Structure 1
C-alpha cells in the first residue's frame, strides 16, 4: 500500500502545485515557496519532494515545451492527482478538527466559522 500521509513540507509543495497550475515546475515552486512562507528552500529539496510525491501517487508530471528563456531546455510540469487532492483534504480536515479542540482557539474559531456560514 502506498503512503498516504503528508509531511508539512510535502503538504505545502502539493498545495503550491495546485495554486500554480500549469506553471508548477521545480524552480517556480521554489520561488513561490519562498514568497509565500518567507523561508528559503534549496532546489534539491524541491526536486526530491516532487519525486517523493510522484512516487506516492499524489502528483503526475510531464515534460513541457522547450523555451528560449531556458536555452531551449524543457520544464517538467507537475499536476495534482485525485489521490493527491484527497490527501490534502484529509490533512486539512484533521488540522481543522485539532484547531477546534484546542481550548485557547476553539471558541474563537467556531464563532468565526458560524459567522461565515450565516
Structure 2
C-alpha cells in the first residue's frame, strides 16, 4: 500500500463516505460533495477516485439488492476500512498541526 498522504479530493470523498455512513453510494456521495463544494462533480471523476481509494485499501464496497426504481440495477455501497480511518485521522492531525504553527492573519 502506498503512503497515507491524501489529496484534497480523496480526503473529501472519504469524509463524504464517513458522513453518509450506511447511505454511501455513488449518487449520494456525488450529491454530498457537489453540495459541500458548491460545484458540479462528474460521475467519472467520482468513480475513478472511489476505485483508487478502494485499491489503496481505504474503502471497501458491497453491492446492495436490485430495486425496481433503478430498473433492476444494484447500488454499490462504500464504507471506510480501518486504514481509511487512520489515513483520515492522520490528514486531520497534519492540517491541525500546520494551522497551529501558521501565523495569524486576517482577510
Normalised to the residue count of structure 2, the TM-score between the two structures is 0.93
Instruction: Give 1:5 deviation, angstroms.
Output: 1.5
Structure (1 or 2) with the greater strand fraction:
2
Unmatched 5+ stretches in structure 2: none
Matches of 1:89 and 1:43 in 2, distance apart? 26
Task: Give the aligned partner of residue 91 of structure 2.
Answer: 91
Report the structure number with the largest CA radius of gyration.
Answer: 1
Give the paired residue count.
105
Instruction: Provide the aligned C-alpha RMSD in A.
Output: 1.0
Instruction: Give 1:3 deviation, angstroms.
Output: 3.4
> Which structure 1 residue ranges, 4+ long, deviate > 4 Å from structure 2?
none
Matches of 1:32 and 1:69 in 2, distance apart? 21
Matches of 1:40 and 1:72 in 2, distance apart? 27
> Larger deviation: 49-58 or 67-76?
67-76
Kept after mapping to 2: 8 A contact 1:14/1:80? yes
Unmatched 5+ stretches in structure 1: 106-118
Say if 2:53 is the partner of 1:68. no
Normalised to the residue count of structure 1, the TM-score between the two structures is 0.85
Matches of 1:47 and 1:81 in 2, distance apart? 18
Instruction: Give 1:68 deviation, angstroms.
Output: 1.6
Kept after mapping to 2: 8 A contact 1:3/1:56? no
Which structure carries more relative contact order (alpha carbon 8 Å, separation 6+)? 2
Structure (1 or 2) with the greater helix fraction:
1
